[in-house]
Structure 1
């Protein structure tokens, strides 16, 4: 049986999750191995989650809630756990994503994290650092659960055509990522426009940025540097970036033409290779 460390449930959301998982398992009279067998996971993994050495996934949480009759407790906790595992400088941004009614983003070099596929995420996060890649990827992907809410935010992405050609991961990963973008073609709440090379000089040359709008709070603009994020509600900055975004959206291809370009790049650049 995996050694059980003494956890302080108040130390962090991850510790609290592990504490609650262990408490409900013991109330059910199950060993870690027995619970693992029920959930189709190893007893070792159950032990690592209980001792806050491994992050739980949404799937694990949902299965454990059913098996232990927790009333959905673990599934509710896992979102908080994932958010607190983000880099400290990014946690505020994840909070903005979770509260926003509208998210408008311009991306120069790669697809926004909220629309990235698992393979694309791993390639991005593993570019220089392969440590804890599974957990770090799961944390990023967990942010996408905001689109599962009953009233999900309206999401607009203007994406530079360069991002379609920048091969992140292998051709299969890129093909999957572009296919994922196309899957939103008929979703009115997730809108993707491509800014083509033919647009020339444009309002986003100074870099990527995101505008968050809320039901009652002030609009916030977010820009990002290496290892740091810069959210601001400064009215002049918000007005400037909102104007820039309007011009970028006007210069970009229509939703229909954007989808056609994505489809063409996917087929021409990342199609099946004939030996």
Structure 2
């Protein structure tokens, strides 16, 4: 079939779920739309789950078991997906991130994943393991995905990456002095790239800082824009331009208020 995406079920629990869904659908000769009718979902939704762009909810898993007569196999597999270290909505976001032409980041408290050194990222995930927030296996999954995301920035042509970090990101010591020093050095290298813009939003901005939560804005190849934000429990991908446009405006306002790239690098060098 033309443009049929190859699946690797060993890649993650989400990929394994999607691989089984496609295999059983193919065995029965059903199209995605036909399976969607049987399950109460659109063919587009079925496609997104098969390719890992959308995580299966409990309702989706139950519906798949009913459609295929598989008892509770999909539900048990779905629980493994939902127990992953990745928030709902994040796998779909990563798919768009890997193809975006422009990436705009704003982060609070920690350096954003795309800019983290391996040692800094490991310190963050190890801290989550010690707190019992994630398992060691989930930590490994999170670090492996982060490495893939960072590698995707090296594609040609490279995406333009705009990063505005709250001052807390560069002052909060993660992993000890040596790890943090190396992370700060890495940020200055990032700022030197011709495809990046790096700024710090200093504490003195006060109420003039546009965002109180981390946010990522992506510009896709067709020039459409999407926004991704997270709570402690789930991630949300927003495509409606009526909601995305105000966030883009707020981001531009934040860039205007933040320290310039030269000033931001000077702050890091001082630290």
Matched residue, 2:132: none
Native 8 Å contact 1:164 1:262 kept in 2 = yes
Native 8 Å contact 1:108 1:208 kept in 2 = yes
For 1:242 and 1:188, the matched residues in 2 are separated by 22
Matched residue, 1:14: 11
Q: Could you tell which deviates more after superposition, 158-167 or 135-144?
A: 135-144
For 1:92 and 1:224, the matched residues in 2 are separated by 13
CA displacement 1:111-137 (0-9 Å, x = unmatched): 111110011111111222151344532
Matched residue, 2:78: none
Matched residue, 2:90: 90
Name the SS of the counterpart of 1:200 in structure 2.
helix
Alignment partner for residue 141 of structure 1, among 122, 137, 147?
147
Closer, same or farther: CA 183–234 of 1 in aligned 2, 3 Å? same
Native 8 Å contact 2:97 2:103 kept in 1 = yes
Native 8 Å contact 2:201 2:209 kept in 1 = no
Native 8 Å contact 1:89 1:227 kept in 2 = no
Deviation at 1:217, TM superposition (A): 5.4
Closer, same or farther: CA 144–163 of 1 in aligned 2, 3 Å? same
Matched residue, 1:167: 173
Gap regions ≥5 residues in structure 1: 1-8, 16-84, 266-275
Native 8 Å contact 1:101 1:153 kept in 2 = yes
CA displacement 1:45-82 (0-9 Å, x = unmatched): xxxxxxxxxxxxxxxxxxxxxxxxxxxxxxxxxxxxxx
Closer, same or farther: CA 119–258 of 1 in aligned 2, 3 Å? same
Gap regions ≥5 residues in structure 2: 1-5, 13-83, 130-134
For 2:8 and 2:252, the matched residues in 1 are separated by 44
CA displacement 1:199-232 (0-9 Å, x = unmatched): 2212434311111001215210111111311010
Native 8 Å contact 1:224 1:230 kept in 2 = yes
RMSD: 2.3
Alignment partner for residue 240 of structure 1, among 239, 246, 256?
246
CA displacement 1:22-50 (0-9 Å, x = unmatched): xxxxxxxxxxxxxxxxxxxxxxxxxxxxx
Name the SS of the counterpart of 1:126 in structure 2.
helix
Name the SS of the counterpart of 1:136 in structure 2.
helix
Native 8 Å contact 1:106 1:204 kept in 2 = no
Native 8 Å contact 1:146 1:153 kept in 2 = no
Deviation at 1:169, TM superposition (A): 1.3
For 2:94 and 2:203, the matched residues in 1 are separated by 31
Matched residue, 1:121: 121
